Amino acid sequence: MNPYLSKVCSRLHVLEAPGRDLVLLFLRLTIGAQFFLTGKGKLAHLDKVAGFFESLHIPAPHFHAVLVSNVEMIGGLLLVLGLATRLAAVPLTISMIVAYLTAHLNDVLHPEDAADATGFSAFMTHVSAFIDQKPFPFLVVCLVLLAFGAGRVSLDHLIGKRCCHHKAAAP
């Protein structure tokens, strides 16, 4: 490889990790705070949430209202802290998938502007309807955090660093 190109690549690589960590921090803070506030709001209005779940034919609506509210509030707090991030992202991801399958499925399967569309155009109409739903950014961020973890600006990183340091020091 060209020495100049090699030098440029090594310098760009040095910038990669901090950039990734800042993006992961931004995603955790923004979506984590939203999850926390949404979960807290649902806990404050459990009867309304349970009624909504009942209208969606979700079994045991009060139980699931409590469950989803706590998953969102506690999971959101864990994301903000960067603590057990991948673990917290699992139930949050499941919650967003269930939201799609219950509250948003009809909007995805039968978008308003799909009546005249055919072929690829119809497919793209459904993709667009999927992306336009409220759970989409939450689902995407949860999947990113499942794949990449919390990043270096997190309690996960600090705890992992301390654990690895103690293991290396042990005889």
Once rounded to an integer, what is the mean pLDDT over residues 91-107?
92
- Sequential DSSP letters for 92-148: HHHHHHHHHHHTSHHHHHS-GGGTT--HHHHHHHHHHHHHTSTHHHHHHHHHHHHHH
Residue 79: pLDDT band (50, 70, 90) is very high
> Where is pLDDT greater, at 168 or 3?
3
Q: Indicate yes or no: pTM above 0.75.
A: yes
Closest residue by Cα to residue 27 from 74, 87, 89 = 89
Provide CB contacts within 8 A for 136, sequence distance 6+.
130
Sequence letter at residue 171: P
Say how far apart CA 161 and CA 154 lie, in whole Å: 11
Q: How far apart are CA 108 and CA 125, in angstroms?
A: 9
